[in-house]
Amino acid sequence: MKRASLSRRFLAVLPLVLTATLAVSPVASADPPMGPDVSSYQHPDGGPINWAAAKAGGVNFALVKATEGTDYVNPHFHEDTAAMRAAGVLRGAYHFPRFDENPEQQALFYVKEVFSENALGSLPPILDVERDNGQPPSVIINWMHRWLTEVQLLTGRNPIIYACPGFWRSSVADSAEFHSYPLWVADWNGGPAPDVPGGWPGWVFWQTTDHANIPGIGVPVDRNVYNPAFGPLEIWANTPYYLTLGTR
């Protein structure tokens, strides 16, 4: 079909586009796109997030915990997704890994859950790397390669990696093997730029604090900014990977 052909051509050039993009030096912006990352903890007593109020308060995107391991789905993931779309907030969905369990099974579990809510306005898949489950760096590095490869095969998109400098240097041996994947870095240093681990040439998202006050969210929350040196945020949210799964 013509749509499948177009999708495959897009995927063929995507690595080249990403490589060129990662080579761009980040530039400062007076008002970069901003958004929180949330999980069930941002739903005290099970109450909803008011995403319309968050949007009115300046939120452009949000990164939502979707899955963990092979048996946990954030109970608010689907309601948050629906409310974010209604409010015009771009959505990212992240997987929290268990490095002592099978990566391919976790990749499939994540993709199946996120795929049911996928549409235009979805940011690339995200792997949240911040707990080692007692595994050494060699195991974590191998696990990550396998999960990232599997998710890329299933979705046609290049996943984003979330990491903080301290964890990456100690638990992932400051590995420089993942530069082809965009970086979401967590660094609450209060300065003008984050500490970037692993020799990454740049960051796409930066988690600047863990105690921001954002309208519509009733508890303090992580706040993130997007790096406009990588082009309009909307480009990242409009890759049609929801089509590619059906054409494989």
Which pair of tokens denotes residue 23?
A: 């080579």
Residue from 234, 178, 182, 184 nearest 207 by CA: 184
Q: What share of the chain is helix, strand, coil (3-state, %, to 5)?
A: 40, 20, 40
Q: How many domains does the chain divide into? A: 1
Q: Is the pLDDT of residue 234 over 50?
A: yes
Looking at the annotation, which residues are catalytic? Answer: 37, 130
Q: Where residue 113 falls among pLDDT bands split at 50, 70, 90? A: very high
Write out the residue range of the structural domain in which residue 145 sits. 2-23+32-247
pLDDT score, position 141: 99
Distance CA 240, CA 227 (A): 22
Q: Which residue has the higher pLDDT, 117 or 219?
A: 219
Q: Is the pLDDT of residue 243 over 70?
A: no
pTM, to two decimals = 0.85
Q: Is the pLDDT of residue 7 over 70?
A: no
CB distance 62 to 126 below 8 Å: no
Tens-place pLDDT, residues 129-174: 999 999 999 999 999 999 999 999 999 999 999 999 999 999 999 9
Q: Is the pLDDT of residue 111 over 90?
A: yes
CATH number at residue 103: 3.20.20.80
Residue from 104, 111, 45 nearest 73 by CA: 111
Percentage of the chain with pLDDT > 70? 83
Average pLDDT, the chain: 87
Tens-place pLDDT, residues 16-31: 444 444 443 344 446 8
Residues contacting 221, CB < 8 A, separation 6+: 36, 37, 38, 42, 210, 211, 212, 213, 214
Tens-place pLDDT, residues 82-95: 999 999 999 999 99
Range name among 45-49, 50-54, 147-151 with the lowest pLDDT average: 45-49
Q: Is the pLDDT of residue 58 over 80?
A: yes
Which pair of tokens denotes residue 72?
A: 């946990």
Q: Tell me the average pLDDT across 47-62.
A: 98
pLDDT score, position 115: 84
pLDDT score, position 120: 77
H/E run at residue 90: strand 90-96
pLDDT score, position 30: 66
Q: Where residue 116 falls among pLDDT bands split at 50, 70, 90? A: confident
pLDDT score, position 238: 62
Range name among 107-111, 141-145, 197-201, 231-235 with the lowest pLDDT average: 231-235
